[in-house]
Each structure stands twice: as C-alpha cells, then as structure tokens.
Amino acid sequence: VFGKIALILGNYGVSMDSVHQKSEALINGVKPVVIQTHEVSVKAMKQAVAEIQASEYVHEQVVLYPIKA
C-alpha cells in the first residue's frame, strides 16, 4: 500500500519526508498512517490526496493538515 501511495504522490511531484504508523494502533480494523511531505504546492497536494482517497485501499477519510515552517 505504501508503494501505491508513494507512486500517486510522485505523480504529482509530492515527495514524502516521513511516514509514521504505530504498529499497535487499530481503529475499526484500520491502522492510521501519518505522512509528512516536503514543501509542495497546495494544488499538487490536493490532487494527490483526491486520487489517494479514491483508491481501493483507503477505507477512511484522508485528512490534510498544512504545516508552515
């Protein structure tokens, strides 16, 4: 699944900085994942998130939190 997500992000020029998933965290049978990216345009990020959300392997709402340095 991470490979598919990374491919989608890469298609929009979005580069992952870090990925965090607690092995013991399980909510409704789903393990939440936090992906921090390098700086990218809002448009590219929204396009990537829309494609990830529409994918068959995402079962919950994707949440986007912009971080300003």
Place of tokens 């494609």: 51
Check: CB of residue 60 under 8 Å from CB of residue 49. no
| Lookup: tokens for 17 | 């900085």
Is the pLDDT at 46 greater than 90? The verdict is yes
pLDDT band at 29 (very low <50, low <70, confident <90, very high): confident
Q: Give the span between the Cα atoms of 69 and 55, in whole angstroms.
A: 30
Is the pLDDT at 55 greater than 90? The verdict is yes
Q: Which pLDDT value is given to residue 6?
A: 94
Q: Which pLDDT value is given to residue 36?
A: 94
Residues 6+ apart with CB under 8 A from 22: 31, 32
pLDDT band at 60 (very low <50, low <70, confident <90, very high): confident
3-class secondary structure, 36: strand
